[in-house]
Amino acid sequence: MEQATATGTFPIERVRAQFPLLEREVNGVPVAYLDSGASSERVLASIEAVADYERRHHSNVHRGSHTLSAEATAAYEGARDIVARHIGAGDRREVIFVRNATEALNLVARAWGDANVGAGDRIVITEMEHHSNLVPWQQLAERVGAEIDWAPVDERGLLDLDALRGLLERGPKLLAVAHVSNVLGTENPLAAISAMAHEAGAIVVADGAQAAPKLPLDVAALGVDFYAITGHKLYAPTGIGALWGKLDLLRAMPPFLGGGSMIRKVSREGTTYADVPARFEAGTPAIAQAIGMGAALEWLDDELGMEAVRNHERAIADYTLARLAEVPGLTVFGPPRGPERLGPVSFEIDGIHAHDVSEILDRHGVAVRAGHHCAQVLMERLGIAATARASFGVYTTPAEIDRLVDGLEDARRVFGL
Amino acid sequence: MDELYRDQILEHYKRPHNFGVVEDADLEYEDTNPFCGDEQHVTIKLDADDRVTEVAFEGKGCAISTASTSLLTDELVGKTREELLRLPKEYVLELLGIDISATRMKCAMLGLKIVKSAALGQPAEWEDEGEAGNPAEAATL
């Protein structure tokens, strides 16, 4: 059955049937999982791909010449091909498997940053960055004596591009920018931002953790230099993510971690390193998780298509903003309904702290996140300590948003508002 | 009636007792709940015998953290600095009088942790919200 209301002709029932967890009840009712921005639920194709590797093919990659190792290697490297295709990488060697987006960004900060950023150099970070694309740059700045400039967010929750242009005129080495904000749901105009940064001589390190589950991606068209994604927000397992980087930049970077797999030749005198991506994948990788990530992306790309996924995300964000506007005393943080507005939708209600909002919603089986969302610089900019946040996945329905609104009405009742 | 958000809790949340700052405080500490960013600042005045004569707190927080610190600070006048250090978490839980789930324990214990840190003059050791203090003393301190 297709759903023709808020989300067009998206095959929502067919999609939901692929997520076993959605059968789960919480507090006596089916869970309305509105926390996919923290971690999305797992698609059956990915769960089964992991189980198949564990049951039938488990062995190490790039090691033995035996059949199982060859199968494991083919599946692991096949996952790399799928990730490359999903993000529009021109060359599969540009995809490095890591634990998560945080590790991807730390890898860039350590390997590229330590080699290219020095005392007195400038780094631009936007105020809407998740701590994962913020703390590594602060650490880099402390290590080498670089200076940080903060690109401001305006009153609507959009990046102030004029102010950013002004900061770029100071000649920073790099710009750290989220593709989609994990708090505001803003889609930043990454291609235009990259062009501005490159004109100023800065490289662009983009955090795609929130964008990759929602948008068709083409890293070449976006013009960025590095792009970080994480599997567990893409219907795949935890413990796996990917860093995409331009081949020439990656090849010029020294290794981040040393160990097995990343070497060409080791002797007592020293070691020469393997080419990318192996140079950055020291030790036995998260083989099962990479295979699970590949299967999830293949499902997204082949069964749904990312254009349809984007349209669904926009429709749900739009519907949520419309419904939340009906709740008295509720303030939404982030841009109004419009083309650059995706999920998540963060909000606060006068007189009820976000923790209490989420506690009461949980009684209704509605799962949202409450807190600072690992974006304390942005929270300070907004002048708040915490928000409640509803975030969406391919399985989110308008009926679940209705349950969110009903739960908020109950929270107001409990607090005597 | 709502078990967690009973009237007493909501009353302390909406109109917290001892809210503000003690002038010329002898002890003070500020801390946050790193999971949500909630913060509280506690100031305490002592007399010559090291007993609390005045206590106040300020900050932003949820119903549970605000009510628990409001309730806790109501009980501190007359206690010695050394007694503050011995307060077990059960002391706060009994004041709250409600079941606190594992997910809300950090909220409930934020004020106690800050009071102890203030008494100690440095961050109080705090393992799993359990922290030092003898549960048996909850009723006597």
Closest in B2, B39, B63 to A353, CB measured: B63
Tell whether the model's pLDDT for residue A229 goes beyond 80: yes
**DSSP secondary structure letters along A188-226:** --HHHHHHHHHHTT-EEEEE-TTTTTTS---HHHHT-SE
Confidence at residue B2, expressed as pLDDT on a 0 to 100 scale: 79
DSSP 8-state assignment for residue B44: E
- Averaged pLDDT for residues B103-115: 92
The answer, for A351 touching chain B at a CB cutoff of 8 Å, is yes
* Active-site annotation holder among A144, A200, A374, A405: A374
Over range B103-110, report the average pLDDT: 91
- Is residue A335 within 8 A of residue A156, CB to CB? The reply is yes
Query: Which helix (DSSP H) or strand (DSSP E) does residue B41 occupy?
Result: strand B39-46
Q: What is the CA radius of gyration of chain A?
A: 22
* Percentage of residues in chain A having pLDDT higher than 70: 98
Write the single-letter amino acid at A163.
A
Q: In Å, how far is A281's CA from the nearest CA of chain B?
A: 31
User: What's the pLDDT tens digit per position in B44-53?
Assistant: 999 999 999 9
Question: What's the first-to-final CA gap in chain B, in angstroms?
Answer: 31
Range A375-381 average pLDDT: 91
Measured CA to CA in angstroms, residue A20 lies from A23, A54, A235, A243, A272 at distances of 6, 19, 12, 29, 47
Collapsing DSSP states into helix, strand and coil, what is residue A89?
A: coil
**In chain B, what residues touch A386 (CB-CB under 8 Å)?**
36-38, 60
Instruction: Give the distance from residue B31's alpha carbon to the nearest chain A alpha carbon, in angstroms.
Output: 13
- CB neighbours of A30 closer than 8 A, spacing ≥ 6? A22, A23, A24, A365
Banded model confidence at residue A3, pLDDT cuts 50, 70, 90: very low
pLDDT tens profile A290-333: 999 999 999 999 999 999 999 999 999 999 999 999 999 999 99
- How would residue A4 be classed by pLDDT, with cut points 50, 70 and 90? very low
Strand ranges across the sheet with B52-60: B27-32, B39-46, B52-60
- Beta strand A226-230 with A203-207: parallel, antiparallel or unpaired? parallel
Residue from the list A352, A360, A376 with its beta carbon closest to the beta carbon of B37: A376
For residue A387, the chain B residue with the least C-alpha distance is B36
Hey, what CATH topology would domain A12-41+305-414 get? Answer: Aspartate Aminotransferase, domain 1 (3.90.1150)
pLDDT higher than 80, residue B139: no
Are residues A356 and B5, on separate chains, in Cβ contact within 8 Å?
yes
* 3-state SS assignment for residue A348: strand
Q: Residue B140 pLDDT more than 70?
A: no
For residues A91-103, give the mean pLDDT.
98
CA distance A191 to A208: 13
CATH number at residue B31: 3.90.1010.10
Best of B13, B33, B62 to substitute, by most chain A Cβ atoms within 10 angstroms, is: B62
> Which chain A residues are within 8 Å of B107, Cβ to Cβ?
355
| pLDDT above 90 as % of chain A | 91
* Block residue for tokens 């505001």: A184
Q: Using CA atoms, how far apart are residues A264 and B51, in angstroms rounded to an integer?
A: 69
Give A393 or A62, the one with higher predicted confidence.
A393
Two tokens, residue A245: 């980087």
The two beta strands, A174-178 and A122-126, are: parallel
Picking from B37, B66, B104, the nearest residue to A386 by CB comes out as B37
Q: What is the DSSP letter of A180?
A: B
pLDDT at B138: 62
Query: Is A160:A153 a contact under the CB 8 Å cutoff?
Result: yes
Give the torsion through C-alpha atoms of A321, A327, A329, A330, to 10 deg.
-30
For residue A98, the Cα-to-chain-centroid distance in whole angstroms is 13
- The domain A48-302 having CATH identifier 3.40.640.10: the answer here is yes
CB B36 within 8 A of CB B62: yes
Task: Provide, as residue numbers in chain A, all residues whose Cβ is less than 8 Å from the Cβ of B104.
Answer: 355, 359
Residue A366 scores a pLDDT above 70: yes
Contact A126, A154 (CB under 8 A): no
Q: Where are the domains of chain A?
A: 12-41+305-414, 48-302
User: C-alpha angle with apex A172: A168 to A173, nearest 5 degrees?
Assistant: 135
CB A106 within 8 A of CB A214: no
**Taking CB atoms and an 8 Å cutoff, what residues of chain A touch B61?**
353, 385
Checking if the pLDDT of A2 tops 50, the result is: no
Residue B125, in any domain of the structure: no
Contact A385 B62 (CB under 8 A): no
Look up residue B35 and give its amino acid.
Answer: F
Question: Least CB-CB distance to B36: which of A352, A355, A414?
Answer: A355
Q: What is the pLDDT of residue A340?
A: 85
Quick: pLDDT tens for A22-73. 999 999 999 999 999 999 999 999 999 999 999 999 999 987 789 999 999 9
The answer to whether the beta carbons of residues A33 and A361 sit under 8 Å apart is no
- Predicted confidence at residue B127, as pLDDT, reads 58
Report pLDDT for A6.
47
**Reported ipTM:** 0.82
A246 in catalytic set: no
Which residues, 6 or more positions from B103, have their beta carbon under 8 angstroms from its beta carbon?
none
User: Are the beta carbons of A356 and B60 separated by less than 8 Å?
Assistant: no
- Any domain includes B136: no
Beta strands in A249-407 (DSSP E): 263-266, 271-273, 330-333, 345-349, 366-367, 369-371, 387-390
Show the domain range for B44: 7-120
| Contacts of residue B136, Cβ cutoff 8 Å, sequence gap at least 6 | none
Tens of pLDDT, residue by residue over B69-80, are: 999 999 999 999
Q: What is the pLDDT of chain B when averaged over all its residues? A: 89
Q: What pLDDT is stored for residue B116 in this prediction?
A: 95
A132-182 pLDDT, tens digit each: 999 999 999 999 999 999 999 999 999 999 999 999 999 999 999 999 999
For residues B67 and A44, what is the distance between their CA atoms, to the nearest angstrom? 44
| pLDDT, average across residues A352-371 | 96
- Chain B contact present for A370, CB below 8 A: yes
**Residue A353: its chain B contacts at CB < 8 A?**
38, 60-63, 66
User: Which pair of tokens denotes residue B60?
Assistant: 């932003």
Any domain includes B12: yes
Q: Which residues of B touch A359 (CB under 8 A)?
A: 4, 104
SS3 B55: strand
Give residues with Cβ within 8 angstroms of A27, minimum separation 6. Answer: A362, A363, A364, A365
User: Is A48-302 in the same CATH topology as A12-41+305-414?
Assistant: no
**Inter-chain contacts counted by CB atoms under 8 A, chains A and B:** 48
Which one of B36, B104, B110 makes the best mutation probe of the A interface by having the most chain A beta carbons within 10 Å? B36
Rounded Cα–Cα distance for residues A117 and A107 (Å): 14
User: How many domains does chain B contain in total?
Assistant: 1
Instruction: Write out chain B residues lying below 8 Å of A26, CB-based.
Output: none
Structure confidence by residue, pLDDT tens digits, A110-139: 999 999 999 999 999 999 999 999 999 999
Tokens 């970080």 appear where? A228
Q: Between chains, do B5 and A353 touch, taking CB under 8 Å as contact? A: no
What pLDDT is attached to residue B135?
56
Please tell me if residue A414 touches chain B, with a CB cutoff of 8 Å: yes
Half-sphere exposure of residue A290, counting CA atoms within 13 Å on the CB side? 28
Q: Is residue B38 classed as helix, strand or coil in its secondary structure?
A: coil
The residue among A180, A263, A212 whose CA lies nearest residue A95 is A212
Taking the CA of residue B15 and the nearest CA in chain A, the distance in Å comes to: 11
The C-alpha angle A34, A37, A42, rounded to 5 degrees, equals 80
Comparing A73-87, A233-247, A367-381, the range with the smallest average pLDDT is A367-381
| Facing A356 at nearest CB: one of B35, B39, B62 | B62
Return mean pLDDT, chain A.
Answer: 95
Tokens of A276: 């990318």
Region A341-351: mean pLDDT is: 97
For residue B62, is it within any domain? yes
For residues A318 and A337, is the Cβ–Cβ distance under 8 A?
yes
